[in-house]
């Protein structure tokens, strides 16, 4: 696979032309680009500074309603994947704006979605008959093929980061989607129902496991942060900082089947050692400030900024002034079930 490329004699070129008419092609001409010795993602490292993009997000609110747009979202498109609506090869990310009084009408699709609240508080998303009121830092799941609508009964705009497995589902040609016959689905369970049933180390007696996706559909930041801070004085992974993954309490596995989500803490002044893994990763900064070296570029970040680490690209992070808390997501669960996931803990 890494040997020299075969020479292109006239006889061979003539042959390639003739077989092309029969919809065939010679593997030996393309093999070296297909089965490569290590990942070479077309995605590139990139950072979106929230301060720079926020005006455009709010401007979208003057141009189109959430209802007309169906979802009023600015896609965070990786500059290496232009036109592909992708932030990594398998994942999509976007910033969704819901203004006071608006509704993003109910629909469902086979793509799984996560919401990570960036700005505002008090808007809601409804999933399968239950609403959750969202606060900054909350991690909210919309499982595959569940009805969901979003609304904002607060008095301020709300912006959240959407993470979906759109490019992955596209590669699998497994997209189905439909609109609900009304803007809002009926609410059948009180706010907090899922968290009470599944989110406290308890579960309903005799209930069968529901699905591959966690039945906890909002992991409130207040609770996640508390867990992280309780561990802050203890040992830290030198390559990853203090990192906890969000789990499905019924299986102990990842909270979502296609997207792995992690909350991590880098104490003030802490510098990680370089690290790379096969899962291209999107990072949303919640608290703190720092600088990350991704490949050969440095990116300075602060609260609400979003950056992407492409697959197999070395990254190291430095929290400069304060403790930094980062939320991140990737396709690691998919790679793990397929036995593909790899990481490399590198020397300084
Ligand atoms: O909220 O359902 O960013 O369907 C992209 C597609 C959000 C959503 C996105 C979607 C949604």
pLDDT tens per residue, range 5-48: 999 999 999 999 999 999 999 999 999 999 999 999 999 999 99
User: Which residues make beta-bridge pairs with 48?
Assistant: 306
pLDDT band for position 3 (50/70/90)?
A: confident
251, part of any domain = yes
In a domain? residue 191: yes
pLDDT single digits (tens) 63-96: 999 999 999 999 999 999 999 999 999 999 999 9
Mean pLDDT score of the chain: 96
CATH number, domain containing residue 71: 2.60.120.10
Q: Which atom of ligand 1 is nearest to the CA of 162?
A: 3
Asked whether residue 164 is domain-assigned, the answer is yes
> What is the mean pLDDT of the segment spanning 240-268?
97
Average pLDDT in the 150-164 region? 96
The DSSP-derived string for 93-124 is: EEEEEE-TT-EEEEEEESS-EEEEEEE-S-EE
Closest listed residue to residue 56, CA positions, set 13, 18, 94: 94
Rounded Cα gap, residues 290 and 292, in angstroms? 7
| Domain extent at residue 237 | 46-177+185-345
- Residues in CB range of 8: below 8 A, 6 or more apart: none
φ, ψ for residue 107, nearest 5 deg: -155, 175
Domain annotation covers residue 286: yes
Instruction: Give Dmax over CA atoms of the chain in angstroms.
Output: 74
Task: Output the pLDDT for position 1.
Answer: 63
Mean pLDDT of 323-334: 98
Q: Is the pLDDT of residue 160 over 80?
A: yes
Give the helix/strand (H/E) hosting 242.
strand 242-245
Q: Which two tokens stand for residue 131?
A: 């609403």
User: How many whole angstroms from 337 Cα to the centroid of ligand 1?
Assistant: 25
Which residue is listed with tokens 């996560």?
114
Pick the atom of ligand 1 nearest to 142's CA: 2
Distance between Cα 206 and ligand 1 center (Å): 34
Q: Which residue has the higher pLDDT, 222 or 2?
A: 222
What's the confidence (pLDDT) of residue 207?
A: 82
Q: What is the mean pLDDT of residues 196-216?
A: 89
Distance 253 CA to ligand 1 centre (A): 24
Q: Find where tokens 């759109």 sit.
A: 166
Residue 215 and residue 195 in contact, taking contact as beta carbons nearer than 8 Å? no
CA end-to-end distance (rounded Å), the chain = 31
pLDDT of 208 higher than 80 = no
Residue 225 clears pLDDT 90, i.e. is over it: yes
Eight-class DSSP state of 303: T
Residue 259, Ramachandran bin (φ over 0: left; ψ between -120 and 50: alpha; else beta)? beta
- Separation in Å, CA 241 to CA 125, 144, 232: 31, 31, 10
- 306 lies in a domain? yes
Residue-level pLDDT at 286: 98
**Statement: residue 206 has pLDDT above 70:** yes
Q: Give, using CA atoms, the residue closest to atom 10 of ligand 1.
A: 71
Residue 56 has pLDDT above 90, yes or no: yes
CA-nearest residue, atom 6 of ligand 1: 71
> Mean pLDDT throughout 204-228?
92
Q: Is residue 19 part of a domain?
A: no
Instruction: Please work out whether the CB of residue 96 comes within 6 Å of at least one atom of ligand 1.
Output: yes
**In contact, 90 and 165? CB cutoff 8 Å:** yes
Q: Of the residues 91, 114, 164, which should be mutated to test ligand 1's pocket, given the most ligand atoms within 8 Å of the CB?
A: 164
Tally of structural domains, the chain: 1
- CA–CA gap between residue 198 and residue 213 (Å, rounded): 12
Predicted local confidence at residue 209, as pLDDT: 75
Q: Residue 92 — φ and ψ, nearest 5°?
A: -115, 145
Residue 255, in any domain of the structure:
yes
Question: For strand 315-319 and strand 290-294, is the pairing parallel, antiparallel, or unpaired?
Answer: antiparallel
Residue 173 burial by Cβ neighbours in a 10 Å radius (0-12, 13-18, 19+): exposed
For residue 23, is it within any domain? Answer: no
**Binding site membership of 163 for ligand 1 (Cβ less than 6 Å):** no
Ligand 1 atom at minimal distance to the Cα of residue 109:
4
């Amino acid at each position: 696979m890494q040997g020299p490329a075969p020479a292109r004699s006239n006889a061979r070129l003539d042959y390639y032309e003739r077989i092309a008419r029969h919809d065939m092609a010679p593997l030996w001409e393309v093999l070296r680009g297909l089965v490569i010795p290590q990942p070479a993602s077309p995605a590139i490292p990139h950072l979106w500074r929230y301060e720079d993009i926020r005006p455009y997000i709010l401007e979208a609110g003057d141009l189109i309603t959430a209802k007309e747009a169906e979802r009023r979202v600015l896609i965070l498109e990786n500059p290496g994947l232009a036109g592909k609506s992708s932030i990594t090869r398998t994942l999509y990310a976007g910033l969704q704006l819901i203004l006071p009084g608006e509704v993003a009408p109910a629909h469902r699709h086979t793509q799984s979605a996560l919401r990570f609240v960036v700005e505002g508080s008090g808007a809601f998303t409804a999933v399968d008959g239950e609403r959750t009121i969202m606060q900054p830092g909350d991690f909210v799941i919309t499982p595959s093929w569940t009805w969901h609508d979003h609304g904002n009964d607060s008095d301020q705009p709300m912006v959240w980061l959407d993470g979906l497995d759109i490019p992955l589902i596209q590669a699998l040609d497994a997209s189905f989607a439909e609109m609900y016959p009304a803007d809002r689905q009926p609410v059948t369970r009180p706010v907090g129902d899922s968290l009470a049933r599944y989110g406290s180390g308890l579960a309903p007696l005799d209930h069968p496991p529901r699905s591959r996706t966690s039945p906890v559909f909002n992991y409130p930041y207040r609770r996640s942060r508390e867990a992280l801070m309780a561990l802050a004085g203890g040992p830290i992974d030198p390559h990853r900082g203090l990192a906890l993954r969000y789990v499905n309490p019924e299986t102990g596995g990842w909270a979502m089947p296609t997207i792995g989500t992690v909350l991590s803490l880098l104490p003030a002044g802490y510098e990680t050692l370089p690290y790379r893994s096969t899962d291209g990763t999107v990072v949303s900064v919640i608290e703190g400030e720092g600088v990350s070296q991704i490949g050969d570029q440095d990116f300075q970040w602060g609260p609400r900024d979003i950056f992407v680490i492409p697959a197999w690209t070395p990254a190291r992070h430095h929290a400069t002034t304060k403790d930094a808390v980062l939320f991140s997501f990737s396709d690691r669960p998919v790679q793990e079930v397929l036995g593909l996931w790899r990481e490399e803990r590198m020397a300084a």
